[in-house]
Structure 1
Amino acid sequence: MSMDAPTFRVGVVVERRPSKSPWVDHAWRIVAIIPEAIGTEPGHVLGHDGEAVLLYAGARSVEFHRVETGNYRDNLTSGSPGLWVTLALTDEEPGIRLISVTADPAEGESLTEIGDLMVEIAPMPPEIAERLAAFVETHHVERVFTKRKRQ
């Protein structure tokens, strides 16, 4: 783990429900961001709630980068800090694959432009928000915008 990019792993829990749409079989929703469940395979069924199935989607690393502290600060001060979770729909069980998890709103928004991916914002757990706030406090440098004049 370098000073520039502290990394830690998080697990993602999703809910799969039968869809009422004629175009898709299931509707998906992020239920929780949890500590990585080491030894738990992606797709592991965690429980049922009526027709809904709770599944462990897997774990991914979340990295903090010094050059993104402005974006992290904006995320933290937004009133509802989030993590952008990217999933790919698949034809194989359980029907999704976890791609990434990021605290950078700009990175998360850029992933929404890729057609076949599903990007959802999940509430940021308090312990991650605390780590992110400490990282921003340590590494943020305010960059002043200077408009260049033509010669």
Structure 2
Amino acid sequence: MPLGVVIRRMPGVTRWAKWTWKAVAVLPGAADADWKVLRQEGEATEYHAATKPLELFRTDTEGYLHGLSAKEPAIYVIMREGEGDAPLDVVMVTASPYEAQDYADTGEELVEKVAMPGGLIAWVRDYVEKYHEDEVFVKRKRDKKRTDLAETGIGDERISQMTDVYRAPGRKGQVH
């Protein structure tokens, strides 16, 4: 589903940052846009910065389910510093908090959490109900082989085991 990303520009609060940029909304089913001005209020301006596809994958349904169970379900907008005239490049949008965390961990991208509209919540929930399969936890069992019977790996193999196994080897002719 195509999602339009709305970004708000506000005056900066320090002399080093002239503007602050924040993703504030998504527009489900939006047409393509390239930093189209949507609204201006005083010094604040909202732009339809880009339209990116929201893709859902069967393997990520656990993440979508986790996101839907949050107090306020969200879409995550991943952005980078802009190249050229645009202040920010919208890289992608995702409904998975796990995927958003992966991008946030790199430190190269900006990840903004935006409230998910009601119709989009229903769309993602329908997808999860159709494709989610609970993974059954299988506890790993140890094999019955006893590993404490052999004394492999103790000490240095260059020293005969009849002597101190924890002694460091020396050079030939050197007394320890």
TM range (shorter): 0.7 to 0.9
> TM-score, normalised to structure 1's length?
0.86
* In 1, Cα distance between equivalents of 2:29 and 2:122: 18
> TM-score, normalised to structure 2's length?
0.75
Paired residue for 2:7? 14
Q: List runs of 5+ in structure 2 lacking aligned partners.
A: 144-176
Q: CA deviation at 1:82?
A: 0.5
* In 1, Cα distance between equivalents of 2:16 and 2:105: 21
Paired residue for 1:63? 55
Higher relative contact order (CA 8 A, sep 6+): 1
AA of the residue aligned to 2:88:
I
AA of the residue aligned to 2:42:
G
Q: CA deviation at 1:144?
A: 1.6
Would you say the 8 A contact 1:71–1:106 is kept in 2?
A: yes
Superposition pairs of residues 90-109 of structure 1, within 5 angstroms: 90=82, 92-109=84-101
Is the partner of 2:137 in helix, strand or coil? coil
Q: CA deviation at 1:36?
A: 4.2
Paired residue for 2:156? none
Is the partner of 2:53 in helix, strand or coil? strand
Deviation track 1:40-59 (CA, whole Å, cap 9, x = no partner) reads: x3111122111111111101
Higher strand share: 1
Q: Computing the radius of gyration over CA atoms, which structure comes out larger, 1 or 2?
A: 2
Superposition pairs of residues 132-143 of structure 1, within 5 angstroms: 132-143=124-135
| Counterparts in 2 of 1:114 and 1:23: CA distance versus 1, 3 Å | farther
Matched, 1:35 2:28: yes
Would you say the 8 A contact 2:83–2:89 is kept in 1?
A: no
Is the partner of 2:105 in helix, strand or coil? coil
Paired residue for 2:152? none
Is the partner of 1:112 in helix, strand or coil? helix
Would you say the 8 A contact 1:43–1:93 is kept in 2?
A: no
Paired residue for 1:3? none
Percent of aligned positions that are identical: 30
Q: List runs of 5+ in structure 1 lacking aligned partners.
A: 1-7
Pairwise CA RMSD of aligned residues?
A: 1.6
